[in-house]
Structure 1
Amino acid sequence: MSGSVVPARRRGLADEVADRIRDAVFDGVYAPGSQLREVELAEALGVSRGPVREALFKLEREGLVRSEWHRGTTVTALSDDDVAELNSLRAALEQLAVELVVERAGEDSLAVIDAAVGRMERAIDEHEMVRCDLEFHDAVYAAAGHRRLQDAWQAIRSQVHLFLLTRIGVATDGYLDGIPAEHRELVTALRARDRATALALFAEHRRHAFEILSGRTD
């Protein structure tokens, strides 16, 4: 019986490998559509192929990579349908989060959201800005105080990160300057407990990114 139990350290190693590959994707080392070969990853990370294979399975469950028999494993390239589905699901989750934050978030939680905007204002490049953007939304979901809602957000977080990376791949004009100001407005509305304004501003924030990815400029 004991011989069939997988050592705990192996799972920990696979998680670490997943973290390294995920970070490489989010840092732009592997662009959407890039092929991820087990042998090359194992050599680059200094591990055997087993942990790499486990890590890729984990990332596939997150939606960050896709595995197809004729292509192997590739970084997910979001289709138009993927973009539309992520946008609509994010809208549904975010509406509830905003309503709950306006209704019951305490000052400490609002301060965490505010601090996330401060980090955005100091971001030095687009990839750092995307990370700060995700941290802002992490703080909003945490402030909502709804565990299952936060779990639902975590389930799509990597895909939303990919969504935002795809967005900056399409256009970066005004991104570094404009995004912090947008989020500062969002915080102001949340602090004012202005439900209608907050919902409208969050919807506009999502719409802008969605239209860039949809090729619309109006």
Structure 2
Amino acid sequence: MGKDDKPLTLAPARRRGLGNEVADTIRSTIFTGMFRPGDPLREVELSKALQVSRGPVRDALQLLEREGIVRSEWHRGATVTVLSDEDVAELNSLRGALEELAVRRVVEHASDSALVAIIMAAKAMERAEDPYGMVRCDIQFHDAVFVAAKHSRLLEAWYGIRSQVFLFLIMRINSSTAGYLDHVRLEHDMLVAALRARNVEAALELFAVHRKHAFDVLTSEA
């Protein structure tokens, strides 16, 4: 430092590892249906159940709030997010815009190994035994599509809404599971076939139909 430079003063760095671990656990309980949209997330109860102090729980809830799957209000505390009609419409349209670019890039540029990863993600759906497991497989399939697109900022944008899309699909199965497992497997088989054929127009249409079906099921129950 020069003679006129002032010493740099910063707040001490904090280790956030435990808060992240707690966030992972709470997120998992939401995505497996233990906590449902609208359910309260009480710091005292969570800290006792997880055998940690309230600090990491508070950090975890703040992290999940930034992801959009937890909401905090001063008079209610933290709850699992209930997506509004506007939330659902915005997520659906944004996901559509991101997926359109991803699908075009996969069709035009994806390597054979990237296509194999997508195929394997679809095959994993055959082992899903319940709707929550199928939602997890559905998300992992779309993860594989975005990875295969080979576009770092696009992948980052997908991960920015991924948890909310997961919650969207959880709310979808809470609305109805009639024929859900077989229907989703068939849809993804068709998506894979279009991608393997590198038929961009067919793939874009099928991805749009896939999104619309989930959107229609959820909004018809509103």
* TM-score of the aligned structures, taking structure 2 as reference length: 0.94
2:58 corresponds to which residue? 53
Equivalent-residue separation in structure 1 for 2:57 and 2:76 (angstroms): 17
Query: What letter matches 1:182 in structure 2?
Result: E
1:149 equivalent to 2:162? Answer: no
1:131 corresponds to which residue? 136
Q: Aligned pairs, how many?
A: 214
Aligned-residue offset at 1:213:
1.0
Aligned-residue offset at 1:191:
0.7
Equivalent-residue separation in structure 2 for 1:177 and 1:201 (angstroms): 16
1:97 equivalent to 2:102? Answer: yes
1:5 equivalent to 2:39? Answer: no
* Structure 1: 5+ residue stretches without partners: none
Query: What letter matches 2:181 in structure 1?
Result: L
Aligned-residue offset at 1:121:
1.3
Equivalent-residue separation in structure 1 for 2:217 and 2:136 (angstroms): 19
Aligned-residue offset at 1:71:
1.1
1:65 equivalent to 2:50? Answer: no
Q: Per-residue CA shift, 1:66-112, capped at 9, x if unaligned?
A: 01111111000011111101000000000000000000001000000
Counterpart of 1:190 (choices 167, 187, 195) is: 195
3-state SS, counterpart of residue 73 of structure 1:
strand
Percent pairwise identity: 60
1:14 equivalent to 2:19? Answer: yes
1:177 equivalent to 2:182? Answer: yes
Aligned-residue offset at 1:7:
4.5
Counterpart of 1:199 (choices 201, 204, 208) is: 204
The RMSD of aligned alpha carbons is 1.4
1:44 corresponds to which residue? 49
Equivalent-residue separation in structure 1 for 2:150 and 2:93 (angstroms): 22
Equivalent-residue separation in structure 1 for 2:148 and 2:217 (angstroms): 29
Query: What letter matches 2:176 in structure 1?
Result: A
Equivalent-residue separation in structure 2 for 1:80 and 1:154 (angstroms): 22
Segments ≥4 residues shifted beyond 2 Å = 1-8
Equivalent-residue separation in structure 2 for 1:85 and 1:26 (angstroms): 21
Q: Per-residue CA shift, 1:28-86, capped at 9, x if unaligned?
A: 01000001011110000000000000000100000010011111110000111111010
Aligned-residue offset at 1:5:
2.2
Aligned-residue offset at 1:3:
11
3-state SS, counterpart of residue 220 of structure 2:
coil
Q: Per-residue CA shift, 1:158-181, capped at 9, x if unaligned?
A: 000000000000010111111011
Query: What letter matches 1:92 in structure 2?
Result: A
Change (3 A) 1:101 1:3: closer
Query: What letter matches 2:38 in structure 1?
Result: G
